[in-house]
Amino acid sequence: MVQVQKTELGTEAGEFLLVSKPKGWTSFDVVNRIRSVLDVSKVGHAGTLDPMATGLLIVCTGKKTKELDQYQGLEKEYIAQMVLGARTSSFDAETPVIEHRGTENVSEEMIHAAVKQFVGYQTQLPPMWSAAKVKGRRLYKYARKGKEVDRRPREVLVRSITVDWIRMPKVRLTVVCSRGTYIRTLVDDIGKRIGCGAYLGELERTRIGNFLLEDAVSLENLYGPRLKQSNS
C-alpha cells in the first residue's frame, strides 16, 4: 500500500503528499492553501485536475518539488460519468447545455460499440475550457470572454475504457490513459460517434501510476485545525 510520506511539516526538506482534491477547488487552490498553511515557498503538483473534478493529486513541497517531473508522465485512471443526449460548450457540467438530442433510439450495444472505437492512440484538440496555455494565457480565460483561439492537437493514448454501468441517460466509464488526455473531449467525441451528443457530468481521478486515491488524505485530515482555521 502506498502511504503519504511526510517529513516535519513546514520544513524545506519537503514532503511527498497524496491529496484528495475536493470538488470546486482548482489544483492551484490546493497548492496555495498548503503553501499558506505550512508557510513554505515551494509547493507544486503533478497533473492538473479541473475544478469540477475530484480525486488524486500528487503534491510536493520544499526540496521534493524537484521530483515532480518523474510523476508527470505516469499513467492515469479516471471514473467518468457521461451524460448522453446533450452537449455543452465546455464539454462538461461547468457550462449550460447548448444542444439537446433524444436518446430513445440509443441502445446499450451502440454505446459499447462507440466506446471501443476510442481505445488506442488518437489526436485530441485541447478544449477551450481547459487550463492549457496559448501565448502564456489559460484557455479558459479566453473562453470566458467568448473567444476561441488556435490550439495545437496532441496525440494521446487511451489504454482502456470500461463501461461500468448504463442508466440512461447516464453512463459510467473507467478510463486508463496517458498524460495529457482530456476526458471531457473523449466524452464529447464518444457522444458524437453515438449520434446523440454527450457531456462529462462527473469526474474522479483514482490512480496516478501506482499511487491510489484510497491512500490519499483530505486537506482537513492532512493539517487538521490549522487548515480549518485558514478556511474560516
CATH number at residue 165: 3.30.2350.10
Do 204 and 90 share a structural domain? Answer: yes
Residue 50 a catalytic site member? yes
Do 196 and 223 share a structural domain? Answer: no
Do 153 and 61 share a structural domain? Answer: no
What's the domain count of the chain? 2
Do 160 and 204 share a structural domain? Answer: yes
**How much is the pTM?**
0.87
User: Residue 1 above 80 pLDDT?
Assistant: no
Residue-level pLDDT at 12: 58
Q: pLDDT of 140-199, one tens digit each?
A: 788 787 888 888 889 999 999 999 999 999 999 999 999 999 999 999 999 999 999 999
Q: pLDDT of 46-89, one tens digit each?
A: 988 988 899 999 999 999 999 999 999 999 999 999 999 999 99
Is 3 inside a domain boundary? no
**Looking at 29, 39, 50, 215, which residue is catalytic?**
50
* Placement of cell 488506442 in the chain: 120
Do 222 and 147 share a structural domain? Answer: no
Is 8 inside a domain boundary? no
Q: pLDDT of 190-228, one tens digit each?
A: 999 999 999 999 999 999 999 999 999 888 777 654 444
Is 36 inside a domain boundary? yes
Domain that holds residue 66: 16-72+211-231
Q: pLDDT of 16-47, one tens digit each?
A: 999 999 999 989 999 998 888 888 889 999 98
Do 191 and 220 share a structural domain? Answer: no
Is 7 inside a domain boundary? no
